[in-house]
Structure 1
């Protein structure tokens, strides 16, 4: 299935088959994600992740512009058909949810389910905390994660590997592994496996949608996280 809202990003930012500029960009962004998070983590368990994605987004934007690209080339465009986009978002939401549930069944057999390790306990019944976390949900945890871990990671990794279906699939798998790792520090191996599986599904859907419209992924991710945070706010979720 292909969206008709944007053209696909070029297989290589430099126009050559193997783009070493792409791997330099990718390493720089991944290093920023890791270093900023680990630097902020001793001071803020809650904001270490968002601080790293905000920093990586700024760097990623600069690097894309330096290569003559933009986020629009990677799928961040105003859809021609919002009806179709919402339909794809619903499909993505259910694929996202099913992947998490199926992986949880397996992960629970081998690893303790620590939930979110109390990272969001302060949200329960706290309007100000809830509003702040919802802002982060629709920036850091939906737009930024999809742009960085799907659009940027997959496109730059695939460009380095030479483009084509094989390179795309390898890039999706690598992106999913890193996405799972990103959640390990507060969800443990159980959560890392679940988020990694979700990242794999989201990455495959990103390819299936033709890399031309990332909004279905952003919307489904945002709604999924919003539901979870709302349940925490209402005291209906204790992890």
Structure 2
């Protein structure tokens, strides 16, 4: 394979596609299983570093990173192939980040109230330990920038979308189908937040997926916006009265 050609545009054998497909399925099966166990049996202890729920949370993160790295080594992908290429210019990632953030704000202002009224509040009770708890807030912020902002964008945008594009093959709609599927998966992993959480994160997944394609398959603006949105959310919970 020629590294000058983006990984998603290279030609893969049937065996190679099968391996990529199995990697995706394994990651999903393991992630959903660990996520289900941690949020079902340890939902109130996820931020407690001595809790098995917290250990499962970090195990999930390590597992995701390991699967991505495994595929990188097996197929000789570069980090650029996984969304970590340098920006082509300074203004494109800025515009993409602003567009993403504005889209999230519009969703929050226009659609989210209807979702809340129809399906109820997001279930984020596992985060209520952050209320007026500065040490826990700082710890949670560090965690979300690593595992949510960076790792989730690396996996659910770069790795999944690229892998699905490879599996579907070159075509006019391959990228958009890949974005839609990755967004549904992204919504599914937030099922513990209830139907409102699934709808919200699926829509955000679509926004971020489209932005990923527009930005030349680079994740840096998405990492920034994802981190900022989560930071605002966590600080809002911190400021709630106990």
Same fold (TM over 0.5): yes
Residue in structure 2 matching 1:232, options 225, 234, 237: 237
**SS of residue in 2 equivalent to 1:19:** helix
> Which position in structure 2 is the counterpart of 1:20?
18
- My pick for the range that moved more, 165-174 or 36-45, is 36-45
Q: Distance in 1 between matches of 2:127 and 2:37?
A: 20
Match of 1:52 in 2: 60
Given that residues 160 and 182 in structure 2 are in contact (C-alpha distance below 8 angstroms), is that contact kept between their aligned partners in structure 1? Answer: yes
- Cα distance change on mapping 1:7 and 1:119 into 2, 3 Å: farther
1:216 aligned to 203, 206, 221, which one? 221
2:50 maps to none
In the alignment, structure 1 residue 148 sits paired with structure 2 residue 146: no
With a CA cutoff of 8 Å and minimum separation of 6, indicate the structure with the bigger relative contact order.
1
In structure 2, C-alpha distance between the alignment counterparts of 1:98 and 1:49, rounded to whole Å: 30
- Displacement after TM superposition at 1:203 (Å): 0.5
Once the two structures are TM-superposed, the CA of residue 7 in structure 1 deviates from its matched residue by 7.0
CA distance in 2, matches of 1:21, 1:132: 37
Cα distance in structure 2, aligned partners of 1:191 and 1:44: 19
Is the helix fraction higher in 1 or 2? 2
SS at match of 1:14: coil
Tell me how far apart the structure 2 counterparts of residues 227 and 51 of structure 1 sit (CA, whole Å). 26
Alignment of 1:156-171 (within 5 A): 156-171=163-178
Q: Equivalents in 1 of 2:85, 2:111: separation in Å?
A: 32
Partner of 1:3: none
Question: Could you tell me which residue of structure 2 aligns to residue 195 of structure 1?
Answer: 201
Q: Tell me the alpha carbon deviations over residues 162-207 of structure 1, each in whole angstroms, 9 at most, x when there is no partner.
A: 133311111111111111111111x100111011001011101111
Which residue, 24, 31, 34 being the options, matches 2:32? 34
State whether residues 8 and 163 of structure 2, in contact with CA within 8 Å, keep that contact through their aligned partners in structure 1: no
**Match for residue 133 of structure 1 among 112, 117, 140:** 140
**Distance in 1 (alpha carbons) for counterparts of 2:22 and 2:109:** 36
Q: Structure 1 residue 21: deviation in Å?
A: 3.0
Distance 1:202 1:229 in 2: 20
Task: Give the unaligned 5+ runs of structure 1.
Answer: 1-5
- How many residues matched? 228
Distance 1:49 1:86 in 2: 31
Q: Structure 2 CA distance, aligned partners of 1:54 and 1:103?
A: 34
